[in-house]
Amino acid sequence: MSMLAAGEAPQISFAERIWRINWALVLILTAIAAVGFLALYSAAGGRPEPWAAKHALRYAGALTLMLGVALVHPKVWLSLAWPIYLVSLALLVAVDLVGKIGMGAQRWLVLGPVQIQPSEIAKVAVILVLARYYHGLKPEQSGKLLHTVPAAALILAPVALVMVQPDLGTALMVLMGGGCVMFVAGTRLWAFAAAGLAAVASMPVAWTLMHEYQRRRVLTFLDPERDPLGAGYHITQSKIAIGSGGLFGKGFLHGTQSSLNFLPEKQTDFIFTSFVEEWGLAGAAVVLALFGAAILIGHSVALRSRHHFGRLVAMGVTAMLFLYVFINVAMVMGLLPVVGVPLPLVSNGGTAMLSVMFACGLLIGVNVYRDAALPRAG
Amino acid sequence: MSQRLRRGDSERSALFTRRALLLGGLQLGLFGALGARLYQLQVLESQRFTTLAEENRINLRLLAPSRGLIFDRNGEPLAINRNNFRVMATSDRGRGADLVVDRLDQILSLGEQDRARLLRELRRARNAQPVVVRENLGWEEVARLEFNAPDLPGVFIDLGQSRDYPEGDLMSHILGYTSRVDKEDLGGADDALLRLDLMRVGRKGMERQLEEDLRGRAGAVQVEVNAVGRVVRELDRTEGQPGSNALLTIDLDLQRFATEKMKAHQSGSAVVMDVITGDLLALVSVPGFDPNVFARGITQSEWKELLDSVERPLHNKAIAGAYPPGSTYKMVTALAALESRAIDAWTRLPCLGFLELGGLKFHCWLKGGHGGLNVVEALAASCDCFFYEAARRTGVDRIGEMASRLGFGKLSELGMPGEVAGNQPSRAWKQEKHGKPWQHGDTFNLGIGQGYMTSTPLQLAIMTARLANGGYEVQPNLLLARATPREELAPPTTVRDKPTAPSMRLNPQHLALIREGMNQVVNSGHGTANQLRQRDPALAFAGKTGTAQVKRITERERDLGITQQQLPWHLRHHALFVCYGPVDNPRYAVSVIVEHGMGGSATAAPIGRDILVETMKRDPSRRTDRFRKMAQR
């Protein structure tokens, strides 16, 4: 590495680029998608329809997309970061105005035959634009308040638009994912403390702005037995399913809770419950270990990247993956309120899978082009 | 510049590494928290959640057994079970109930009251037990519900059974009816069946009396249900045991005949009893009610109407109506007098039309008096003065003792709910009830079955049967046979010609005198019912008329000659008649009371005659085809 002068773009061959693709990560992601296939197959009562088969196909497509993204030079993303961000903001505005209402919130934008969820794009867009922003700053500027405020604004704009839909889960993910990027970028700790204080101070205001179902969810989270057959029903049933799974589960296709429809949304947000009921603590450990390994790889990619943009993107993607897994799993086990976050690559649903795989493509791209020299001003 | 930049870069890189490791550590810690939570749920609390999961999916549902059927003595169905398509709903303690009820309302037009009831019951139902939405659906309604089934989670159509009484009010008092289980039924009883929403229990009559036999035993089905209560599959099924069937002693055709005769009058009762076996062939109380109304659920106004009627249609007058027996009681007085040797066959007592006692006049119904009569003539002419004097000579104690042996003043062994004992007055009774000692005048009144004396039509039939069968303490009986559905239901095959009840050890000559008196009532020129004499000697019968005062006739009314027709209905005399036949070999006893029918010989006696003659005509010894009919069933 020392042989390479700063500012020189090292030329690497196509074969080397293929070699540098993080195949271990690809394998782990595929294993996670396989878990999703099994869980969806079982959730449908032992049938590939209506979810498992589509899940496999979708994963094949998403895998191709990921590998394609991985081979794109980071400088392309560096130059596209702002446009992507602005487009995602525009889409969020559009969905707030004309979006399709589903599950009690406006989340979908129908463009001809395609339905897209702009909030999923926003998750990646925020990471990209923050990495781009910090990459462009001089090292000593990163911690300055003057430069922290624009970064915060970059995060809060999409967060506000997603909140309006309303989609609390995604808003929190964008906020926290962006927060992680700012954190590793060197934002001063007192800035986070101030933001935290501001959040606490604004809570009463937020409470009054919340929708009734959101308030109920928060109250239910604070006291699940408050209404075991009303809002707390999902959590209670989910805990019963997980707990009754025991050490080794009830066996594949032998889950009673989910196959008997005691579980709500068993194919999406509660897929982890459904899987763990049948595979027990052992199955849960495998799933968490797979995600843990993927996150670990993400960290190592971030630490090995020689350019700041790559480090920040890798960290952001890793944080996003972590947040997905943590929020979803904590939610189905009653550790967090039900906020509607899927388990990536396992839950049924196309947009989330595409956005996660796209993000992982960026991550692998950082690894492939870890030695690339990127100018500060793109 | 380049140096500074590189130093800044490496500083930034070091900060990034520190913070990345910090973030990684935080993430690791949070993953650890997830692991700990998993351990807590799946290892530490696993047992509790496993139990909860089982409860969630397995549901035990009771299967109501079919209620036993009731037939008449010839196998005619009296109480049966009819297929009943009903729509049921389940919900998990009311979750989503509003929507389902709304849709049901659109399809079945439930009405506000039913809606409210349904919502309440759905919220209350435990373990997703089904609640009845509506019963007795027609085909069209079933089709509409099936068509809309996808929009009606937790709603299903169930083929159940409901009680049907093909004869309607004809058998209402004998059978009683069935209705929903109420809190009183639940008290103490631990039969889980009673908690079923569909369960019906017997009220009144044989439905109540035979409840234990008819009910059967519950079956149970273990089903796996999903969260909306829909049955996914059946895990285990234990068939219940249907209730036993019963054959009654009632002869439906005779019951119908007797009821038709009684219906000529507003209100009354008739009893037909086999004097050898005690079988009740007919037990009529008019007006009746339609027990089917109870099976399908009676409305408030229907119930009020039944309760408020002066004719008391819910009241089984045959066993629960207590009337002064009037002159039908004179056999008791005569037999007590003979048995106690207060009089004998040749004792003639004078009748001047009245008897004076301590300034009070006790009148005979015949204004001029009968002159002198013996006991047979006195019964035939129903002379009151003879029985005043006979009673005086016998005394209240010995009359009471004889009355008790003949069945008065106590419940029979019929065992039907609602039966009353009537009142056989005694010295002790009067002292306790009225705080006054027994007077001679009380004995006079008792002698002619008036005053404090009351009895039921059933008791009069029992008395007549015991006089007719030679003094055997025969007991009334309504149940001919009962059998579980696996056994054959058939009447006893042995023909009984001799009573098996214990004998009362009466002097046969005394009984013969009483029976001769009753014979002369019908079959002699001076009898009070001699217009009813039968030409066919095989159908000849004996009887006794009675007219019971409801209101004391005042001297003024007697002087004015006010007739019964001029009184309001509820103050007129009751008309009574008891009879048995055939006269020389008695087999059947009949008692008839027409409430406020005014004259026993004019109103009640012709009905009694018709019923008794019809009964004798239907006797198996005369109608051999009836055996064949029975054998075929």
Element (H, E) at B576: strand B574-581
CA distances from A272 to A28, A238, A361, B188 (A): 17, 9, 24, 49
Averaged over A305-332, what is the pLDDT? 94
Of B30, B42, B52, the CB nearest to A247: B42
Which stretches does DSSP call E strand in B48-107? Answer: 58-63, 70-71, 77-89
B408 alpha-carbon distance from chain centroid: 22
The DSSP 8-state label assigned to residue B67 in this structure reads: P
Of B16, B49, B93, the CB nearest to A243: B49
Cβ of B56 and A184 within 8 Å? no
* Residue A308 with chain B: CB contacts under 8 Å: 9, 12, 16
B89 vs chain A: nearest CA distance in angstroms? 18
Residue in chain A nearest B41 by alpha carbon: A243
User: What are the tokens at B466?
Assistant: 């015991």
Lay out the sheet containing B219-225: strands in order across.
B58-63, B219-225, B231-238
The model's confidence at residue A344, banded by pLDDT at 50, 70 and 90, is: very high
List pLDDT tens digits, range A99-151. 666 555 556 777 666 677 888 889 999 999 999 999 998 888 888 888 999 99
- The residues, any chain, with a CB within 8 Å of residue A311's CB and separated by 6 or more, are A184, A302, A303, A305, A366, B13, B16, B20
Cis peptide before B437 (omega within 30 of 0): no
Cβ of B228 and A319 within 8 Å? no
* Residue B13 with chain A: CB contacts under 8 Å: 311
B61 alpha-carbon distance from chain centroid: 31
- Rounded CA separation B385/B374 (Å): 12
pLDDT at B628: 47
* Residue A186 with chain B: CB contacts under 8 Å: 12, 15-16, 19
B51 vs chain A: nearest CA distance in angstroms? 8
- Rounded CA separation B205/A366 (Å): 91
pLDDT at B95: 66
Most B CBs within 10 Å: which of A244, A279, A318, as the mutation test of the B interface?
Answer: A244
pLDDT at B549: 83
A94 vs chain B: nearest CA distance in angstroms? 34
The DSSP 8-state label assigned to residue B168 in this structure reads: G
Cβ of B42 and A139 within 8 Å? no
Domains and CATH numbers, chain B: 84-164 (3.30.1390), 252-632 (3.40.710.10)
Helix and strand numbers, DSSP H then E, in chain B: 24, 20
Label residue A309 exposed, middle or buried (CB < 10 Å: 0-12, 13-18, 19+). Answer: buried
Q: A213 with A219: CB under 8 angstroms?
A: no
Q: Which residues of B are catalytic?
A: 327
Tokens 């005062």 found at: B549
Number of Cβ pairs closer than 8 Å across A and B?
A: 135
The model's confidence at residue A229, banded by pLDDT at 50, 70 and 90, is: very low
Q: A184 with B20: CB under 8 angstroms?
A: yes
CA distances from B140 to B136, B143, B147 (A): 12, 5, 11
Cβ of B17 and A276 within 8 Å? no
Cβ of B19 and A184 within 8 Å? yes
Helix (H, G, I), strand (E, B) or coil at B47: helix
Phi, psi of B231 (to 5 degrees): -75, 125
Q: What angle do CA A14, A19, A22 make, to 5 degrees?
A: 125
User: What are the tokens at A347?
Assistant: 């839950």
Cβ of B34 and A315 within 8 Å? no
- Rounded CA separation A254/A242 (Å): 13
Q: B178 with B163: CB under 8 angstroms?
A: yes
Label residue A289 exposed, middle or buried (CB < 10 Å: 0-12, 13-18, 19+). Answer: middle
The DSSP 8-state label assigned to residue B366 in this structure reads: S
B120 touches chain A (CB under 8 A): no
B82 touches chain A (CB under 8 A): no
- Cα dihedral angle (B343, B348, B350, B356), rounded to 10 degrees? -10
Cβ of B42 and A276 within 8 Å? yes
pLDDT at A170: 86
Parts of chain B with a pLDDT under 70: 1-7, 55-60, 92-95, 125-129, 183-192, 195, 197, 225-232, 296-297, 553-556, 558, 561-562, 622-633
- Rounded CA separation B347/B87 (Å): 76
The model's confidence at residue A228, banded by pLDDT at 50, 70 and 90, is: very low
Most B CBs within 10 Å: which of A240, A288, A312, as the mutation test of the B interface?
Answer: A240
- The residues, any chain, with a CB within 8 Å of residue B331's CB and separated by 6 or more, are B379, B463, B467, B514, B517, B518, B544
Cβ of A229 and B225 within 8 Å? no
- The residues, any chain, with a CB within 8 Å of residue B162's CB and separated by 6 or more, are B81, B82, B84, B135, B136, B200, B295, B296
B32 vs chain A: nearest CA distance in angstroms? 10
Most A CBs within 10 Å: which of B18, B37, B42, B46, as the mutation test of the A interface?
Answer: B42
B531 touches chain A (CB under 8 A): no
* Residue B30 with chain A: CB contacts under 8 Å: 322, 326
Element (H, E) at B355: strand B354-357
B569 touches chain A (CB under 8 A): no
Helix pair angle (A74-98, A145-164), 10° resolution: 40
* Residue B12 with chain A: CB contacts under 8 Å: 139, 142, 186, 308
Q: B157 with B85: CB under 8 angstroms?
A: yes
- Rounded CA separation A135/A131 (Å): 6
Q: Assign residue B598 a region: left if phi > 0, alpha if psi is -120 to 50, beta otherwise?
A: left
Least trusted range by pLDDT, from A24-33, A328-337, A364-373, B118-127: B118-127
Element (H, E) at B222: strand B219-225
Largest Cα–Cα distance in chain A? 67
Partnered with residue B576 across adjacent β-strands are B546, B593
User: What are the tokens at A8?
Assistant: 């020189």
Q: What angle do CA A67, A68, A69 make, to 5 degrees?
A: 90
- Rounded CA separation B621/B624 (Å): 6
Largest Cα–Cα distance in chain B? 159
Integer-rounded Cα radius of gyration of chain B:
37
B281 vs chain A: nearest CA distance in angstroms? 59
B8 touches chain A (CB under 8 A): yes
- Rounded CA separation B334/B404 (Å): 14
Whether A161 has a pLDDT exceeding 50, the answer reads yes
Cis peptide before B287 (omega within 30 of 0): yes
pLDDT at A31: 97
Looking at residue B358, its amino acid is G
Q: A317 with A301: CB under 8 angstroms?
A: no
Of B16, B95, B226, the CB nearest to A184: B16
* Residue A240 with chain B: CB contacts under 8 Å: 49, 52-53, 56
pLDDT at A10: 61
List pLDDT tens digits, range B269-297. 999 999 999 999 999 998 888 888 877 66
| ipTM rounded to 2 decimals | 0.90
B55 vs chain A: nearest CA distance in angstroms? 11
B9 touches chain A (CB under 8 A): yes
Label residue B444 exposed, middle or buried (CB < 10 Å: 0-12, 13-18, 19+). Answer: buried
- Rounded CA separation B589/B406 (Å): 14
SS3 string of chain A? CCCCCCCCCCCCCHHHHHHHCCHHHHHHHHHHHHHHHHHHHHHCCCCCCCCHHHHHHHHHHHHHHHHHHHCCCHHHHHHHHHHHHHHHHHHHHHHHHHCEEECCEEEEEEECCEEECHHHHHHHHHHHHHHHHHHHCCHHHCCCHHHHHHHHHHHHHHHHHHHHCCCHHHHHHHHHHHHHHHHHHCCCHHHHHHHHHHHHHCHHHHHHHCCHHHHHHHHHHHCHHHCCCCCCHHHHHHHHHHHHHCCCCCCCCCCCCCCCCCCCCCCCCCHHHHHHHHHHHHHHHHHHHHHHHHHHHHHHHHHHCCCHHHHHHHHHHHHHHHHHHHHHHHHHCCCCCCCCCCCCCCCCCHHHHHHHHHHHHHHHHHHHCCCCCCCCCC
B19 touches chain A (CB under 8 A): yes
The DSSP 8-state label assigned to residue B45 in this structure reads: S
Mean pLDDT of chain A: 85
Cβ of A245 and B42 within 8 Å? yes
- Rounded CA separation A51/A37 (Å): 8
Question: Which residue from B170, B261, B256 is spatially nearest to B610, judged by alpha carbons?
Answer: B261
* Residue B224 with chain A: CB contacts under 8 Å: 256, 260
For CA atoms A292, A293, A298, A303, give the dihedral sign.
positive
Looking at residue A90, its amino acid is A
Residue-wise over B209-244: b if at least 16 C-beta within 10 A, else e? bbbebbbbebbebebbbbbbbbbeeeeeeeebbbbb
User: What are the tokens at A82?
Assistant: 């702002």
- Rounded CA separation A195/A188 (Å): 11
